Amino acid sequence: MSFFLSPNLAAIQPPPITEVKSWIAERTFPPEKPLIDLCQAIPDYPPAQAMMEALAPLLHDPAVAKYSPDEGLPAVRQSIANWYARRYGTGPQATEICLTVGASQAFWLAMVTLCRAGDEVIVPLPAYFDHPMALSAYGVVPCYLPYREGSGGLPDPAQIAAAITAKTRAILLVSPSNPTGAILPPALLRELFNLARRHNIALLLDETYNTFALPSSCHDLFSAPEWGDHFVQIASFGKTFALTGYRAGALVASEALIDAALKVQDSMVVCAPRFTQHAIAWGCDHLDVWVEANAETMQQRHDLFRSSFAVPENRFRLSASGAFFAWVRHPFAGQSGRQVARRLAQEENLICLPGEAFGPGLDGYLRLAFGNITADAIPAAVQRFCAL
Ligand SMILES: Cc1ncc(COP(=O)(O)O)c(C=O)c1O
């Protein structure tokens, strides 16, 4: 390699899902022991059939092939605002929503708008790996707070408060958490919002998996006066409507923050794909019942997974779990999560992510995306852990 590569990238781990999938790339699996994929979190079901039928004619509409305004089509932003009002009881105005290329790009917009290189963001562990990867690539310092076994994956406000420095720009949280599945209770989020407000920093909340939790667990931060001065939300409609490949996300923030972010949006992607925007609007307008039914299915999967996993012959231990994910302690002292995950792939035809992908000091853990598999496949999946 002859040219300069940013040294920021040298210390960043390669994309973990790509690595795990490479372990099985050349393999075929016998029908009596098929591959069980608990690796990349993707709903097992297809998008709603009615949505596909409604979208099909749009392929022939030349307007849909054009750019939209950078922030997204006004009618789409309004459909999303209406969706928030129904789900959260209150929510952003249409002008406080910017359509993005997945939640991933919304995170980048938030990060480069809130932070300069050298600033700090507080990141409780375990952390969704793309967040520290993005922060480090941009030169922002992720200030990790260690995972506390027994916490159920809930962050400790005192620990967060103690980590705030003059360089802190944001407290970064994910709820429901990837990788623990933990749903942060509304009162805890309110406390952390007030903490952010006292220190004049942002509470940056990634709610990619919010629709896998029941609406009763929604926070009330959008009802706080001037919420946008200290709260920024990352949304993914890819998970909500089973459209992960459409790259459907949004940044929800004050108009002032969105105005600033549009300078990045314009130079980064111009706008979210217009076809995807129509899909989101259709889903917001028509799929409340479909979304709720899927949340109930996920809840049932979680209940079944918890009870199946707790059998005495299974030496793996559930450390935390909730919507879509389980965060599991493996029983092999002296072996890394990567080694154990690789053995599961090789010996048990099951893929999952090693704990160390989610931050330093976490190699005693694995992340299982049980939301990927249907209830009838859960007992067989647990059997593979018992067998290792
Ligand atoms: C916590 C979290 N945020 C963001 C994303 C990315 O979402 P999207 O596909 O909408 O970019 C994921 C994807 O797995 C995720 O787990």
CATH number of 294's domain? 3.90.1150.10
pLDDT in tens, 312-353: 999 999 999 998 999 999 999 999 999 999 999 999 999 999
Read off the pLDDT of each residue in 223-242 and give the average, rounded to a whole number: 96
Q: For a substitution probing ligand 1, which of 37, 100, 128, 240 has the most ligand atoms within 8 Å of its CB?
A: 128
Amino acid type, 382: V
The answer to the question of residue 304 being in a domain is yes
State in Å: Cα 358 to ligand 1 middle.
14
State in Å: Cα 37 to ligand 1 middle.
17
Please name the residue whose Cα sits nearest to atom 7 of ligand 1.
103
pLDDT in tens, 58-80: 999 999 999 999 999 999 999 99
What is the C-alpha separation between 52 and 56, in angstroms, rounded? 6
Please name the residue whose Cα sits nearest to atom 3 of ligand 1.
208
Q: Note whether 164 and 109 are same-domain residues.
A: yes
Instruction: Work out the mean pLDDT of the chain and round it to a whole number.
Output: 96
Cβ neighbours for 33, distance < 8 A, ≥ 6 positions apart: 348, 349
Residue 209's pLDDT is what?
95
**Closest to 110 (Cα-Cα) out of 264, 267, 224:** 264
**Closest to 357 (Cα-Cα) out of 126, 181, 162:** 126
Q: Note whether 144 and 263 are same-domain residues.
A: yes
**Closest to 205 (Cα-Cα) out of 187, 189, 181:** 189
Q: Note whether 144 and 258 are same-domain residues.
A: yes
CATH number, position 90: 3.40.640.10
Residues with CB under 6 A from ligand 1: 41, 102-104, 128, 174, 178, 206, 208, 236, 238, 244, 249
The answer to the question of residue 175 being in a domain is yes
Band (38; pLDDT cuts 50, 70, 90): very high
Q: How many residues does the chain have?
A: 388
The answer to the question of residue 169 being in a domain is yes
pLDDT in tens, 244-284: 999 999 999 999 999 999 999 999 999 999 999 999 999 99
Structure tokens at 95: 């002008």
Q: Note whether 253 and 146 are same-domain residues.
A: yes
Q: Note whether 236 and 121 are same-domain residues.
A: yes
Band (217; pLDDT cuts 50, 70, 90): confident
Q: For a substitution probing ligand 1, which of 40, 104, 174 has the most ligand atoms within 8 Å of its CB?
A: 104
What is the C-alpha separation between 207 and 195, in angstroms, rounded? 19
Q: Note whether 266 and 313 are same-domain residues.
A: no
Q: Note whether 42 and 127 are same-domain residues.
A: no
pLDDT in tens, 92-145: 999 999 999 999 999 999 999 999 999 999 999 999 999 999 999 999 999 999
State in Å: Cα 311 to ligand 1 middle.
31
What is the C-alpha separation between 234 and 96, in angstroms, rounded? 12
What domain range is 224 assigned to? Answer: 49-287
Positive or negative, the CA dihedral 95, 100, 104, 108 is negative
**Closest to 176 (Cα-Cα) out of 133, 230, 240:** 240
The answer to the question of residue 3 being in a domain is no
State in Å: Cα 129 to ligand 1 middle.
10
pLDDT in tens, 2-28: 899 999 999 899 999 999 999 999 999
Please name every residue paired with 354 in a beta bridge, in sequence order, or none if there are none: 366
State in Å: Cα 218 to ligand 1 middle.
19
**Closest to 231 (Cα-Cα) out of 79, 74, 82, 92:** 92
Q: What percent of the chain has pLDDT over 70?
A: 100
- The angle, 0 to 180 degrees and rounded to 10, between the axes of the packed helices 130-138 and 102-114 is 40
- Of the candidates 256, 287, 318, which is a domain's last residue? 287
Q: Note whether 32 and 54 are same-domain residues.
A: no
Angle at Cα 126 formed by Cα 105 and Cα 149, nearest 5°? 160
Q: Note whether 118 and 130 are same-domain residues.
A: yes
State in Å: Cα 131 to ligand 1 middle.
10
Q: Note whether 210 and 71 are same-domain residues.
A: yes
Q: Note whether 282 and 357 are same-domain residues.
A: no
- Of the candidates 242, 261, 287, which is a domain's last residue? 287
The answer to the question of residue 201 being in a domain is yes
pLDDT in tens, 284-320: 999 999 999 999 999 999 999 999 999 999 999 999 9
The answer to the question of residue 57 being in a domain is yes
State in Å: Cα 247 to ligand 1 middle.
10
- Of the candidates 259, 287, 315, which is a domain's last residue? 287
Indicate the number of domains in the chain: 2
The answer to the question of residue 2 being in a domain is no
Q: Which atom of ligand 1 is nearest to the CA of 40?
A: 14
Residue 54's pLDDT is what?
98
Band (43; pLDDT cuts 50, 70, 90): confident
Residue 323's pLDDT is what?
87
The answer to the question of residue 1 being in a domain is no
**For residue 1, pLDDT beyond 70:** no
Q: Note whether 354 and 379 are same-domain residues.
A: yes
